Amino acid sequence: MRKSVEDDLKAIGLALDNDVMPSVFDRGVVRPVVSPDDLKLAGQEKADARQRPTRSATRPWERPAGWQGTTGQPRSPHSGTPLVQPGLRSRYTEGVGACRDAYPGLLAFPQERQMWLFAESDLIEGLGRRAAFAIQLPYTTNQPVRAWGFWTTAVSKTWIGPRHTNFPDGSVCAFEPRDQTWLPGGSVTALLDLYCLWAVRHLYLEKYGKWPGRQSVPIAAERLLELGDEEFCGCEHPLGTFARCCKASDQTKTSGADLLDFAMKTRMPPDEVVRFAWNPTSPPGLRGQNTRQT
Ligand SMILES: [Zn+2]
173 Cα–ligand 1 center, Å:
19
According to the model, what pLDDT value does residue 83 have? Answer: 87
222 Cα–ligand 1 center, Å:
12
B/e letters for 158-197, b = 16+ CB within 10 Å, e = fewer, are ebbbebbbbbebbbbbbbebeeebbbbbbbbbbbbbbbbb
CA angle (31 as vertex; 119, 188 as ends), nearest 5: 30
11 Cα–ligand 1 center, Å:
25
13 Cα–ligand 1 center, Å:
20
**Digits of tens for pLDDT over the chain (294 positions)?**
899 999 999 999 999 999 999 999 999 999 986 665 665 555 554 433 334 444 543 333 322 222 323 333 344 455 677 889 999 999 999 999 999 999 999 999 999 999 999 999 999 999 999 999 999 999 999 999 999 999 999 999 999 999 999 999 999 999 877 777 899 999 999 999 999 999 999 999 999 999 999 999 999 999 999 999 999 999 999 999 999 999 999 999 999 999 999 999 899 999 999 999 999 999 998 765 545 444
According to the model, what pLDDT value does residue 43 have? Answer: 52
Distance CA(213)–CA(180), nearest Å, equals 18
Name the nearest CA neighbour of 124 among 214, 25, 209, 45: 25
pLDDT in tens, 92-122: 999 999 999 999 999 999 999 999 999 999 9
233 Cα–ligand 1 center, Å:
5
107 Cα–ligand 1 center, Å:
40
247 Cα–ligand 1 center, Å:
7
According to the model, what pLDDT value does residue 286 have? Answer: 76
Residues with CB under 5 A from ligand 1 (ion): 233, 235, 238, 245-246
217 Cα–ligand 1 center, Å:
9
Q: How would you classify the pairing of strands 54-55 and 23-25?
A: parallel
236 Cα–ligand 1 center, Å:
7
16 Cα–ligand 1 center, Å:
18
B/e letters for 108-119, b = 16+ CB within 10 Å, e = fewer, are bbeeeebbbbbb
According to the model, what pLDDT value does residue 30 have? Answer: 97
Is 95 buried (19+), middle (13-18) or exposed (0-12) by CB count in 10 A?
Answer: buried
Residue ranges of domains in the chain: 3-211+266-278, 220-264
213 Cα–ligand 1 center, Å:
14
pLDDT in tens, 9-39: 999 999 999 999 999 999 999 998 666 566 5
246 Cα–ligand 1 center, Å:
4
67's CB contacts (< 8 A; 6+ apart) are 91, 185, 186
232 Cα–ligand 1 center, Å:
8
**pTM reported for the whole predicted model:** 0.84
6's CB contacts (< 8 A; 6+ apart) are 207
232 - beta bridge partners?
A: 241
